[in-house]
Amino acid sequence: MSGLARQSEISKQMAAFGAEWLPAEPLTRHTSLGVGGPADIIRVHDSRRLPKIMAFLHEQGVPWRMLGGGSNVLVVDQGLPDVLLQLARGEAIAFVGNRAEVPAATNLGTAVLECAKRNLAGMEGLAGVPGTVGGALRMNAGAYGTEIGDVVRAVTVFHGATGLFETVKTENVRFEYRHSSFSPDDVVLAATLELRDCPYAVTLERIKECNRKRLASQPIQEKSAGCIFKNPPGHSAGKMIDELGLKGTQVGGAVISERHANFIVNRDHATAGDVLKLMDLVRARILKAFGLELEEEVIVWR
């Protein structure tokens, strides 16, 4: 079977599963940093079809990864051999009392605001964090003293390894600093959040205050993947990078932001190679000056 014939066959098969087949998609279009080579994407519109989709990929010997909003991912310029599964948006948030059942593909900021409109608070600091709820769960996203793991009570998961769906209670999930215990083969489908009662006007003002701080301190108008490095225990990665005078340092089109030293921005058609070289430069300088090994917060896909 020729390459074009195979692509056509896969496209038909995915349509039968209620999914879209997007071959050789440039990941510059699917990541907030705007870098990365091509990869095949399967956009899943009905999560109930995941067992059949996974079985098909297994039969074809095709490895896969989950792609959320692409806000914390750095993809190499060569692209990826893996197929990227992406949950399509569309399902609404369901509210019962002070709990919200949030689909994983929901934009995180949208989820925060929709909860606030129903007089539910507890996630205000996450309002300006880019990406999806599913991605936030995997990374235990946090900002301004709030981590999403603090308000999660259950997570609906499809286990790719076994083909089973499960609702996992929070006590069976480890939420740590920018990390959770979900397996790479787990597809997060939805989260049950438990929030506290608070008038919308009060929560909205807190959201605005967090966003004012973010606007004043982060390069939110430029392409980035958020903080590039995790903060070492007892230290601030951004503060150390700043103290070394590295703001504005540039490799190709990648620049250490003058606004926040732990952000690398794509200012002039940067490649993933540019970003990786700049990251290596920062790591070497921090190790020499402070004796600390910086750990990546951004997820590098090779």
> For 60-118, how does the pLDDT look when each residue is reduced to its tens digit (9 = 90+)?
899 999 999 999 999 999 999 999 999 999 889 999 999 999 999 999 999 999 999 99
Distance linking the first and last C-alpha atoms of the chain: 28
* Tokens (6 digits) for 189: 């489908």
- Kindly state whether residues 145 and 239 are assigned to the same domain: no
Instruction: Please indicate, yes or no, if residue 212 is contained in any of the structural domains.
Output: no
Are the CB atoms for 51 and 276 separated by under 8 Å?
Answer: no
Note the pLDDT of residue 9.
84
* Tokens (6 digits) for 152: 């999660």
Q: Quick one: pLDDT band at residue 3, thresholds 50, 70, 90? A: low
- Kindly state whether residues 130 and 189 are assigned to the same domain: yes
What's the structural domain count of the chain?
Answer: 3
User: How much is the pTM?
Assistant: 0.93
- From residue 142, give the alpha-carbon distance in Å to each of 114, 179, 243, 262: 18, 10, 24, 15
Are the CB atoms for 139 and 180 separated by under 8 Å?
Answer: yes
Instruction: Please indicate, yes or no, if residue 156 is contained in any of the structural domains.
Output: yes
Note the pLDDT of residue 6.
72
Range of the domain at 80: 3-87
**Is the torsion defined by CA of 136, 68, 100, 130 positive or negative?**
positive
